[in-house]
Amino acid sequence: MLKRDDVIEVIDRAFAEDVRDGDVTTIWTIPETKQARAEFIARADGVIAGLDVAKWVFERVDGAIVFDARMADGDVIKPGDVMAVVSGSARGLLTAERTALNFLQRMSGIATMTAQFVKEVEGTKARILDTRKTVPGLRVLDKYAVVAGGGVNHRIGLFDMVLLKENHIEAADGIGPAVMSVRKGMAQDGRTLKIEVEVENLNELEEVLLVGADQVMLDNMSIAEMRQAVERVANFDGQKPALEASGDVSMARVRDIAETGVDYISVGALTHSVKAMNISMLFR
């Protein structure tokens, strides 16, 4: 769930670059006492996300503006649906319009793409994960939108999970030394975090099984290799790590990946290549 305090700073930065010392077009065109009402209308099929953020945008401009959400984040929308109605100062509505739409369109685009990937893997056990490939400063919004679309958040940042990737392993002189160093560091700091290790082949998977990990990222493996990895873990007598498929995951390929039996599929495109949803705000 989004918290207002976590988002206000992002909203303020958006206004700082957009409004600065005044919305001159609106100020010089619209009387200060003019009141208005506007509707947020969907122009495409999709999944909505970001309604609270849009509400907070209007509140930041003018606390007297009323934002009436007619739908909820995660709802499926179709062209013509009215997702929210705003009313109050016409100047305030116009000044906040683009900032509110920027957040709402991007977040709904992420939710929509996530929902499409989730639908593609229906009937399998695979869950769709996001990544850290988010717009700097917008991670909390991007990851919230993934959940609104039915996906699952991977780690939020570098602080809440250990993920040993290729360069960590190279710098630490191997998977075994890297994992052992992590465990030593966690013990010294009195912390317990999930450990995930990235592997590029089945031999590296064997190394991880030997030292133990909570999760293994199968990076850029073929479908055949992923099936073998799933079978190997299923037959392993020790700690069975969850398996995450990663690397160049497309809509056309995600079903084949899911049917290998992996637990998770991470999709960077959810946040780094999203297409903003077509949403309009129209005065009525």
Residues 129 and 101 in one domain: no
Here the tokens at position 148 are 């609104």
Per residue in 56-81, pLDDT (tens digit) is 999 999 999 999 999 999 999 999 99
Q: Whole domain around residue 232: which residue ranges?
A: 119-272
Residues 125 and 253 in one domain: yes
First to last CA, the chain: 31
Condensed to tens digits (0 to 9), the pLDDT of residues 131-162 reads: 999 999 999 999 999 999 999 999 999 999 99
Give this prediction's pTM: 0.96
pLDDT at 37: 98
146: Cα within 13 Å, side-chain hemisphere: 28
Domain identity same for 263 and 132? yes
pLDDT digits (tens, 9 = 90+) for 82-98: 999 999 999 999 999 99
Mean pLDDT of the chain: 97
CATH number at residue 250: 3.20.20.70
pLDDT of residue 280: 98
Q: How confident is the model over 99-131, as pLDDT tens digits?
A: 999 999 999 999 999 999 999 999 999 999 999
What integer pLDDT is reported at residue 86 of this predicted model? 98
Q: Are residues 108 and 124 in the same domain?
A: no
pLDDT digits (tens, 9 = 90+) for 209-257: 999 999 999 999 999 999 999 999 999 999 999 999 999 899 999 999 9
201 token code pair? 């082949």
Considering the domain architecture, whether residues 245 and 268 belong to the same structural domain is answered as yes
Residues 196 and 258 in one domain: yes
Q: Are residues 150 and 48 in the same domain?
A: no
Instruction: List the CATH number of the domain containing 60.
Output: 3.90.1170.20
**HEC assignment per residue over the chain:** CCCHHHHHHHHHHHHHHHCCCCCHHHHHHCCCCCEEEEEEEECCCEECCCHHHHHHHHHHHCCCCEEEECCCCCCEECCCCEEEEEEEEHHHHHHHHHHHHHHHHHHHHHHHHHHHHHHHCCCCCCEEECCCCCCCCCHHHHHHHHHHCCCECCCCCCCCCEEECHHHHHHCCCHHHHHHHHHHHHHHHCCCCCEEEEECCHHHHHHHHHHCCCEEEEECCCHHHHHHHHHHHHCCCCCCCEEEEECCCCHHHHHHHHCCCCCEEECCHHHHCCCCCCEEEEEC
Question: Residue 33: pLDDT above 90?
Answer: yes
Residues 80, 144, single domain; the answer is no
Domain count, the chain: 2
Residues 89 and 172 in one domain: no
Q: Which residues are catalytic?
A: 98, 133, 165, 198, 219
Together in a domain, 103 and 171: no
Residues 108 and 87 in one domain: yes
Q: What is the pLDDT of residue 248?
A: 87
